[in-house]
Amino acid sequence: MHFRKLLALLAILLFSVSINAQVYHQNGMVVSDNQIASEVGAEILEQGGNAMDATVATALALAVVHPQAGNIGGGGFIVYLDAEGFSTTFDFREKAPLAATEDMFMDKNGEYIPMINHNGLLAVGVPGTVAGLWKAHQKAGRMPWADLVQPAVELAENGFPLSFALAQHAERYYNSNEDEFMRMFYTDEDGNLLGFGDIWKQPELAETLKRIRDNGHDGFYKGETARLLAKHMAENGGIITEEDLAKYEAIERTPVKGTYKDYDIISMPPPSSGGASLIQMMNMMEQVNWDEIEFNSTEYVHIVAESMRRAYADRAEHMGDPDFNPDMPIDRLISKEHAQNRFSNIDWEKASPSDSSKFGQLYDGKNTTHFSVIDKEGNAVSLTYTLEWSYGARTGSPELGFILNNEMGDFNPVPGLTNSRGRIGSDPNLIRPEKRMLSSMTPTIIAKDGKPYLIIGTPGGRTIINTTFQTVLNVLEFEMPLDKAIEAMKIHHQWLPDRILYEGDLLSPDTRKALKAMGHNLESRYRLGRMMGIIWDQENGVFIGASDSSSPDGGVAGY
C-alpha cells in the first residue's frame, strides 16, 4: 500500500465511529482485530495477491499496530482451504528451549513457584511466527515475499496514529512498575509518552522487519536478529540461544476433520487442542433434539456446558505435542461413536461432577488474536496467533523492538498434579526440550460442498475452543446471521475448575437461578472471546464479514 494512501485512510479511521455490523464485499475480504491491518491485507488482495499473500501482510501489519497480540515474537496456527477443496495446516507454535527441563518452574523442594512460568524471560518459548508465515507463503503464496512485508516496514518506520485503546495501554504501562522496555514502549524519540492521535514510530522494529523482508525465514532465525535476541536472553536470565533459533522450523500438518449435518469442519490438529475438541462437541450437538430446546434456555446452557466439561476432560488427559505423543487417540476422540458415548452419560436434571482423579473416564457410557481471509477465487485462511498474555512476557530487546511471548506457561508446570483449581499435570503436556506446548487456539474453516463457507476464530486463552464452538453452532444449527452469531451469549466450562463462566449481561437471572439449582457453579465475565469471521454466500456472490464489537480497533476490509 502506498504510504500516503495509508495515512489518509488512517486519518479517516482514527476519528470515525466504528459500527460492528456485517460488511459485504464481492472480490475478497480480511477481518482482523485491527482495521489498519485488515486494510493492508485487502490492499494485497486488490493488487492480485491471494489469500495466503494477504495473510502474511496482515499478520506482519498486526505485529506493528496490534502489539498486545499481533506478533513476530510468538507463534500460532494456520488452517488453509483452497478453491479446489485441498486443505492443510501450518503449525508455528512456540517450542521449549533446548535448556528447558520438566521441573524448571519448581523450587528445590519440588514446589511450584507461583507465576514464574508466566513472568520474565524464562517464560519465553522459541518464537514461531516468522517461520510459519514463511512456510505457508512458500506453499501457497503468489506475490513476492518482500512485497508482503513492506507495508509492515512502512507502518513501523513512518508511524501511524495511536488509537484510543492503544493510548490507554500506553498510559498504563508508562506509569507502571513494568521493566523499562514496556514503560518506554509507547514513547517518542525523546522518551515522551504518546497520546491518542499521536504518530507512533517504531524504528527498531522497522529494522527487524527489514531483515525479515530481505532474508525471509533466516532474517529472524539467523544473523543479526538471532544474535541480538540470544544476547538479550543471556544478559537477562533467559535460556533461548542462537542454536534454539537456528533449529526452529514450522511444520505442515494434516487437519483434523469432522462433519455437522451437511457441513465439513476443518480445523487445527495437536499441538492445538482446539480442532479435536470442537469436533467432539459438535458431534455431541448432533445428538440433541433442537426442536425441543430453545437457544439461551436453561436446557441449552446445561447441555452445552456438559458437552464442554467432557471435551475438556479428554483434552486434559490425552493432548499435547504429537511429535512427543505419537499415540494420542485423536481419531477416537473425534469419532461419532465417542460423542454418542459421552452424550449418553449426561444427566438432563443435574450437573455432572468434575473429578480431577478420573479425567474423562468419569463420563464413559489472557492474549491472542485471530483473523480470517478469503480471496476472489475462494482460497481461505483462518489464522490464530498469540503472545499468550496481553503483551506476552511484557518484555523484549530494546534493540529489536518487539514483545516476547510467555508461552512456557502453557505447559503443565508440576508433573502429576491435577487439582480442582484447574492445575493439570498429565504427561502429554509436560515440559521437554524442543516440545511445543498445548494450545487452545482453534482457527477453523467450515466447508459446504467442498467450498469455504465459514472462516472463524477468536482469542481468549482456554475459552477459545468454546467460543468458537458456540459461534459455529449458532451459524450452522440456529442459522444466525454472522454478526448475531458472534455477539450472542457465550458460556465457558473447562472441566476444572468446575464452573460455568457466563457473559454477565446476557444470561437471565431466572436461568442462572435454575442452573444453580441443578448444581452448576456460575461466575460472571464481561465478555468471552473476540470473534473475527467471514461467510461466503455463494448463492448471492458476496463475502460477509463481521468483527466482534468487543474489539475496539477491529474491522473488516475488502474490495
What residues act catalytically? 368
d(CA 410, CA 387): 11
Contact 344, 307 (CB under 8 A): no
DSSP-based three-state secondary structure for 181: helix
Buried b (16+ CB within 10 A) or exposed e, 525-551: eebbbbbbbbbbeeeeebbbbbbbbbb
Sheet holding 522-525, edge to edge: 491-492, 500-503, 522-525
Q: 316: closest CA among 498, 486, 156?
A: 498
- State the DSSP string of 15-66: TSPP--S-EEESSEEEEES-HHHHHHHHHHHHTT--HHHHHHHHHHHHHHH-
Dihedral of CA atoms 328, 334, 337, 343 in degrees, nearest 10, equals 110
Find residue 370's DSSP bridge partners: 384
Determine the longest span between alpha carbons in the chain, in angstroms: 66
Instruction: Please count the other Cβ atoms lying within 10 Å of the Cβ belonging to residue 28.
Output: 26
Tell me the pairing of strands 500-503 and 522-525.
parallel
CA distance 559 to 545: 12
Distance CA 76, CA 313 (A): 23
- The backbone region for 368, taken as left when phi is positive above 0, alpha when psi lies in -120 to 50, beta otherwise, is beta
Which ranges constitute the DSSP H helices of 83-239?
Answer: 129-140, 145-158, 164-174, 180-183, 203-215, 218-221, 223-235
* Residue 315 Cα distances to 85, 132, 180, 424, 546, angstroms: 29, 25, 38, 10, 30
C-alpha distances out from residue 330 to 124, 277, 439, 555, Å: 28, 10, 15, 35
Please tell me the distance from the alpha carbon of residue 179 to that of residue 271, in angstroms, as a whole number: 31
- For residue 190, give every residue at least 6 positions away whose Cβ sits within 8 Å of its Cβ, in sequence order, or none: none
Measured CA to CA, the distance from residue 534 to residue 124 in angstroms comes to: 33
Give the separation between CA 232 and CA 393, rounded to whole angstroms.
Answer: 14
- CA neighbours within 13 Å on the CB side: how many for 152? 36
